[in-house]
Amino acid sequence: MNKPNSATVPATSGRDIKTIVNASLPRRHAAERRFRWYGLIAISLGLAFVVLMFANIIGKGYSAFWQTYVQVPISFDAAVLDPQGNRDAKAIEGADYGALVRAGLRAVFPNVQGRGELRTLYALVSSDAPQELRRTVMANPALIGATQEVWLLASATVDTFVKGNIDRTLDETERPIKDNQVAWIDKLAAAGKVEQRFNTLLFGSGDSREPEQAGIRGALMGSFYTLLVTFLLSFPIGVATAVYLEEFAPKNRWTDLIEVNINNLAAVPSIVFGLLGLAVFINFFGLPRSAPLVGGLVLSLMTLPVIIIAGRAALTSVPPSIREAALGMGASKLQMVGHHVLPLALPGMLTGSIIGMARALGESAPLLMIGMVAFIVDVPRGFMDPATVLPVQIYLWADLPERAFVERTSAAIMVLLGFMILMNGLAIVLRKRFERRW
């Protein structure tokens, strides 16, 4: 029964298939090896840049997490603080704490004479030092009359010098720190009166002109309020839109048009949304400038298309057999979506939303347009307070020349990246946790 049929392989001039294939094998294997190398090179290149970037940022920024303090004996002189002797809180608060600081410094270096030299001595500590003393005394009025060694915040220049970022071999005119300051610091250091502590101010205070007092708390809170508004607006609206478009809307020219527009909106440059926000929310609706509410509204506009697209993708990935099963049981369309489709699609939707939110967290351009770029010292306490956000803060600090601001810029970038990684990690965890097999 071994009859030839039409499926027989045509004769190949005497060479059998084994020879033919073998002849081409080295070429094919070589091509495959080459391709693998290209891929490997591309990935290593990418990784190298990432490592470079992180090394640069961390190298510059890690020192910002430490801050220099100097120990100065302060005598809480009752004559200065409470001349009336009646412990009046108002009087105590209004007292000249600067004098205490100055007296303390003079006590350490009694040989310093002359206005100029004294001023350089006083410049060792931050201009915030008197405020700090005031806070201490207000918290503990019993200190009045006592003398105590107090750790005072060093000025940014001293801080930078102590961290070794100023070359002491340079000529006095070429560095921001004077020779006699160097000598005083050395002396203090020798006495164990210079110390680096964890920089709580970086996370605890708002922006400042003085680098040693500048923190990212204001920007962090601004980002928090802005993103809260963004999430509260864009997630429900985005999910609802995605569900409606995917499950309920009739498929016709209008819905097609809407779909195309949503896709295009996702690709619109973010600054355009800023312009829109400026025109509509601030100029037309008269909302306050620099407010997280407006920022959130603008970022919502920007995030919505991303969430809608991710949401629709998550919905379409729910197998139609589940829908059919629900409909076949006599479930109404809303029951089908509510009971079966949405629970299955929600992890995907959440993931898409978090990625969209992470993008919004890193966004600065549209916020520049609505005035969130202002210098704001106070930490915002609500949606209407003027605020700035983390990326804008970074942008602002990056402009400043002081060495102490450079390290703070890098530190802020590290914090921002940390939040990005955290949010993306959350997205992955959510996906892994709630992803169901069907």
Partner 1 sequence: MNTSTIAIETKAALDGALNAAAGVRKESSVEVTDYSNRQTVGRITVDNPKMVCRGVNVYYGEKHALKNVGLDIGANEVIAFIGPSGCGKSTFLRCLNRMNDTIATCRVTGQIKLDADDIYDKSIDVVQLRARVGMVFQKPNPFPKSIYENVAYGPRIHGMVNNKAELDELVYASLERAGLLKEVEKRLDEPGTSLSGGQQQRLCIARAIAVNPEVILMDEPCSALDPIATAKIEELIDELRENYTIVIVTHSMQQAARVSQRTAYFHLGDLIEVGDTDQIFTNPRHKLTEDYITGRFG
Binding site for partner 1 (CB under 8 A): 250-251, 319, 321-332, 335, 339-340, 344, 436-438
Other beta carbons less than 10 A from residue 174's beta carbon:
8
CB 406 → partner 1: shortest distance, Å? 53
Residue with tokens 């220049």: 157
Q: How far apart are the first and last CA of the chain?
A: 48
- DSSP-H helix ranges across 317-402: 320-328, 333-336, 342-361, 365-369, 390-398
101-102-103-108 Cα dihedral, nearest 10 degrees: 90
Q: At what angle do helices 97-108 and 129-139 cross, to 10 degrees?
A: 110
Compute the half-sphere exposure of residue 111: CA atoms within 13 Å on the CB side of its CA: 3
Grouping H, G, I as helix, E, B as strand and the rest as coil, residue 113 is coil
Distance of CA 41 to the CA centre of its chain: 31
For residues 318 and 369, which CB has a smaller minimum distance to partner 1 in the complex? Answer: 318
| Minimum distance, C-beta of residue 2 to partner 1, in the bound complex (Å) | 23
The residue among 3 and 436 lying less far from partner 1, judged by its C-beta, is: 436
Question: What minimum distance in Å lies between the beta carbon of 243 and partner 1?
Answer: 16
Q: Least separation, in Å, of the C-beta of 153 and partner 1?
A: 58
Nearer to partner 1, 102 or 312 (CB): 312
Other C-beta atoms lying within 10 Å of the C-beta of residue 12: 10
Residue 328: CB minimum distance to partner 1, A: 4
Residue 272 vs 327, nearer CB to partner 1 = 327
Which C-beta is closer to partner 1: that of 16 or that of 324?
Answer: 324
Distance CA 23, CA 331 (A): 62
Q: Identify which of 96, 111, 112, 212 has the alpha carbon closest to the alpha carbon of residue 159.
A: 212
Q: How far is the CB of 52 from partner 1 (least distance, A)?
A: 45
For partner 1, give the closer residue by CB, 90 or 437: 437
Q: By C-beta, is 151 or 434 nearer to partner 1?
A: 434
Distance CA 231, CA 239 (A): 11
The least distance separating partner 1 from the CB of residue 350, rounded to whole angstroms, comes to 17
CA–CA separation, 371 and 290 (whole Å): 5
Tokens of 291: 């407010």
Q: For residues 90 and 251, which CB has a smaller minimum distance to partner 1 in the complex?
A: 251
User: How near is the Cβ of 7 to partner 1 at its closest, in Å?
Assistant: 18
User: C-alpha 177: how far from its chain's center?
Assistant: 32
Which of the 8 DSSP states describes residue 280? I
Name the residue type at position 84.
Q
